[in-house]
């Protein structure tokens, strides 16, 4: 049977890491963790679980950090996880069956069920949130994106759905959401600015309104109750911020000319 590695990029994940590794420790051949400068107990937890632990504090963006982590993998297959995710028993079975079948030119994706502020979200466009996380190590890699990185799908490769969910324990507090959202917005604006993309405040407003309408109405966020309403408002806010950030960067360039 081909060998399997779990790969992770982390920073200050002592709250989540042990539970994540508990869900894979007994059935994977290798755990590879690339840390970007943790100051908590993340390295100690990684050591406890026998992980191969590396550090790169010169942050290159999410895509390139994942590429570096993949370079440390020695197994035939790689399964990517974030520290706030857990593999369910049904998904474990599907993963092992896929590896045993060892199909040529295949990339596997799996549904992710997110828990936000203590509630599982089944609507709002959040479920099933298929993520591409399992492939032969030599088949592909992540792209270079600073944020919202994704697995490159080479020509001729089949994309296969697995059964079972990744449980995603995402935001536990509003402060955590706002900090993480701000970081993503900053990285998004930086990337778009480097590509000479433009934005206006009008776009910021219209995109924010569209985000709320899509999540709450079109994607049936109202079925997620008050949590669905809150998520739609927060997502609209995040959308406004990233476009406003890009607009301000454009303004700064204009003023320098």
Q: How far is CA 234 from CA 15, 124, 125, 181, 214, in A?
A: 24, 12, 14, 9, 13
Q: What is the pTM of this model?
A: 0.90
C-alpha 193/C-alpha 35 separation (Å) is 27
Virtual CA dihedral for 167, 171, 172, 174, nearest 10 degrees? -160
pLDDT tens, residue order, the chain (257 aa): 999 999 999 999 999 999 999 999 999 999 999 999 999 999 999 999 999 999 999 999 999 999 999 999 999 999 999 999 999 999 999 999 999 999 999 999 999 999 999 999 999 999 999 999 999 999 999 999 999 999 999 999 999 999 999 999 999 999 999 999 999 999 999 999 999 999 999 999 999 999 999 999 999 999 999 999 999 999 999 999 999 999 999 987 766 65
Q: Minimal CA–CA distance to 46: which of 79, 14, 86? A: 14
C-beta separation of 109 from 159 below 8 A: yes
> Is it true that the peptide bond before 128 is cis, omega within 30 degrees of 0?
yes
Q: Report pLDDT for 254.
A: 66
Lookup: tokens for 23:
């869900």
Q: What is the pLDDT of residue 252?
A: 77
Which long-range contacts does 27-32 make (Cβ < 8 Å, 24+ apart)? 27/92, 27/96, 28/4, 28/79, 29/3, 29/4, 29/5, 29/75, 30/3, 30/4, 30/5, 30/6, 30/73, 30/74, 30/75, 31/5, 31/6, 32/5, 32/6, 32/7, 32/8, 32/69, 32/72, 32/73
Q: 87, 111 in Cβ contact below 8 A? A: no
């Amino acid at each position: 049977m081909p060998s399997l590695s779990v790969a992770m990029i982390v920073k200050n994940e002592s709250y989540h890491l042990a539970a994540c590794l508990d869900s894979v420790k007994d059935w994977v051949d290798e755990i590879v963790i690339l840390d970007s400068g943790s100051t908590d107990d993340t390295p100690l937890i990684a050591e406890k679980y026998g992980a191969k632990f590396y550090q790169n504090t010169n942050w290159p963006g999410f895509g390139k950090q994942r590429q570096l982590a993949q370079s440390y993998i020695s197994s035939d297959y790689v399964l990517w996880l974030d520290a706030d995710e857990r593999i369910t028993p049904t998904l474990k079975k599907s993963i092992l069956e896929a590896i045993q079948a060892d199909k040529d030119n295949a990339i596997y994706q799996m549904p992710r069920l997110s828990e936000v502020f203590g509630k599982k979200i089944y609507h709002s466009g959040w479920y099933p949130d298929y993520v591409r996380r399992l492939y032969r190590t030599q088949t592909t890699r992540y792209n270079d994106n600073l944020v919202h990185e994704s697995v490159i799908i080479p020509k001729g490769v089949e994309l296969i759905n697995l059964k079972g969910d990744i449980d995603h324990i995402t935001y536990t507090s509003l402060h955590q959401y706002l900090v993480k959202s701000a970081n993503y917005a900053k990285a998004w604006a930086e990337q778009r600015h480097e590509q000479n993309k433009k934005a206006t405040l009008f776009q910021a407003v219209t995109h924010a309104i569209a985000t709320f309408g899509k999540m709450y109405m079109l994607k049936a966020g109202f079925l997620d109750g008050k949590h669905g309403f809150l998520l739609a408002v927060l997502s609209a806010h995040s959308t406004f911020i990233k476009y406003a950030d890009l607009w301000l960067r454009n303004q700064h360039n204009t003023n320098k000319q």
